Structure 1
Amino acid sequence: MAWTGPTETPVSARIATLTPSLQPSERRVVDTIAADLAAAVECTAQELANRVGVGRASVIRTAKSLGYDGFPQMRVALARELSFLPSRSDDDNSVGLLRGTIEKFGHSLPRLTEALTEEAVTDFVAALHEARRVVIVAAGLSAPLGLDAAMRLSSAGRPAEFLQDSLAQQIAAGSLEPDSVCLVISGSGATKDSLAAASTARAAGAKVLVMTSFARAPLVALADAVMVIPPVSESFPDELLHTSRAALALVIESLVQVLLVYRGDRGREAREAALSLVEKRLKA
């Protein structure tokens, strides 16, 4: 018997309703899930199968019996259900929640550079330094990062262009030449507009630099140089619910500092000029 009720019914409720009618291997799967929803949502289908002691096919069959197209869809439903459970924090006031979020991010900081190599960072910085022209592409949740990167690069004496409109970004990318760079910033690495702009830049002969959170993202295949910055989320539900770009923002800021050092006297002169302008503005 498979689920035929409302699509919004939580996983735990479906389990409670259908367990008696499930096959023995499926009952073992749902018993494991029901015992610890938080642990189950962090598992792949194979990992859950190993935990239960059944084959991967049993896990997939269970997901379908519960009314989902497959295990990935059930996993998202589990994450949604968990997001509505009451907080278990001992400090649920506003400051406590704020502190907890920041501390969680702080704990993730050491892993932000774990996927980077000296060659990848050097190639990235050298390309930015040598490019005659830099166009930045960033859409969706990554769009604010595009503006931030353009401002920081410009203050380092490396002028960069960022247009808010995604079509305008693609048009600008298509106007690049072989001695130019298209810098694509995308947390998911799969945003349709960013992929289109990257492809357009490649077709124009420009070098494509990609900053993303996932090593196997579609954008990676279009890149001449890649910096992979792992997401700060510690769990699958966190990544779905928050899709933070804080890690990318921090790395962009740090990358500009590396660029300043790489540019030597030109970098120092650019920084001094920027600081002088700020000083004049403050005196006005």
Structure 2
Amino acid sequence: MTPQTQEFVAPVLPRLRAELDRLPLQAARVAQVILADPHAVARMSIADLAERASTSEASVTRLAQRLGQGGFPELRIALAAESVGEAVRPTITGDIDLDDATATVKAKVLADVARSLHDTAAALDDAAVDAVADAVVTARRTLVLGIGASGTVATDLARKLERIGLPALALTEHHDAMTTCVALTSADVLVAVSHSGETIDVVGPTQRAAAAGAATVALTSRPSSTLARACDQVLLSIAGTETAMRPAAMSSRAAQLFVVDVLFVAVVQRDWERAEPLLSASWEAVSARHPDRRRG
């Protein structure tokens, strides 16, 4: 697999939401001002933004460059374009309170998941998806690594690939992952799932797989994480807002599963002649137990 180039620049607002809690203090102040009103910031001068964030113009420039922009002028242009979509999207924000009615909880969770999926769709690099799908179709086998809550996402992708006849295995335990990854070769693909990109039990086996010559893919919310830097390709998922009642394991899952579905469809498109009869056969195999189901 050809390593991912730096040509793709993820949209600014999803990237800021994904990395806000990892930014240095001065950069975080700028990011908070931007996220509070991106449309207004797009009309500010760099001096105005620095003053509003109680920081220096140099800090504004450094944040712009961290986001893949050449400087503040390019950041303003990006914000102007992205804030149009932000303005027309309904906003229901805020943590879920203990006394919230069920209807309010539904509205808040729905709004957060919808934003997470929208941001992920915008931030996901099409070229990266294509490169990973190409690699999976031709791989000797695909290993999907995830620990804890990410393990359910890893299992979902592995089972999907198995269903269309592609050799795949979910690795959801660290020792098993480590001993499996040291035996990989350049004919294999490892997809590593971690919201933070810093989970030791995911990063360690991934680094082993890379050293063994396997193609490596990070599915993460953190494009600058240790995991992302260790991999050939990065599939970016933007988690929802982490709160006391919706920890990262919950807020990141919908976006990760969205990326899994996009990747799976891309794989099926490339391997339709093999996939179609197997998908049909699996549907037929269980249809008798679901008499109410009709083939779409």
TM-score by length of 1: 0.65
Other structure's SS at 1:227 match:
strand
TM-score by length of 2: 0.63
- Give the Cα separation in 1 of the matches to 2:164 and 2:177: 22
- Give the Cα separation in 2 of the matches to 1:160 and 1:257: 16
Instruction: Return 148-157 or 186-195, whichever deviates more.
Output: 148-157
2:242 is equivalent to residue 242 of structure 1: no
User: Structure 1 residues 239, 229: closer, same or farther in 2, change over 3 A?
Assistant: farther
The residue aligned with 1:123 is 131
Letter of the 2:134 partner, please give it.
A
* Structure 1 unpaired stretches of 5+: 1-40, 57-81
The residue aligned with 1:51 is 52
- Give the Cα separation in 1 of the matches to 2:204 and 2:131: 23
Other structure's SS at 2:191 match:
strand
- Counting only pairs closer than 5 Å after superposition, residues 200-215 of structure 1 correspond to structure 2 as 200-215=208-223
1:266 Cα deviation from its structure 2 partner: 1.3
Preserved CA contact (<8 Å) 2:177 2:205: yes
- Identity between Structure 1 and Structure 2 (%): 24
- Give the Cα separation in 2 of the matches to 1:246 and 1:276: 28
User: Structure 1 residues 118, 94: closer, same or farther in 2, change over 3 A?
Assistant: closer
Aligned residues between the structures: 211
* Structure 2 unpaired stretches of 5+: 1-20, 31-49, 58-93, 292-296
Other structure's SS at 1:161 match:
strand
User: Structure 1 residues 161, 281: closer, same or farther in 2, change over 3 A?
Assistant: farther
RMSD over aligned CA atoms reads 3.1
User: Structure 1 residues 191, 248: closer, same or farther in 2, change over 3 A?
Assistant: same
The residue aligned with 1:232 is 240
Preserved CA contact (<8 Å) 1:156 1:256: no
- Give the Cα separation in 1 of the matches to 2:54 and 2:208: 49
The residue aligned with 2:168 is 160
Other structure's SS at 1:114 match:
helix
- Greater C-alpha radius of gyration: 1
Preserved CA contact (<8 Å) 2:132 2:233: yes
- Counting only pairs closer than 5 Å after superposition, residues 1-284 of structure 1 correspond to structure 2 as 45-46=25-26, 47=29, 50-51=51-52, 53=54, 87=97, 92-233=100-241, 238=243, 242-243=247-248, 244=251, 245-279=253-287
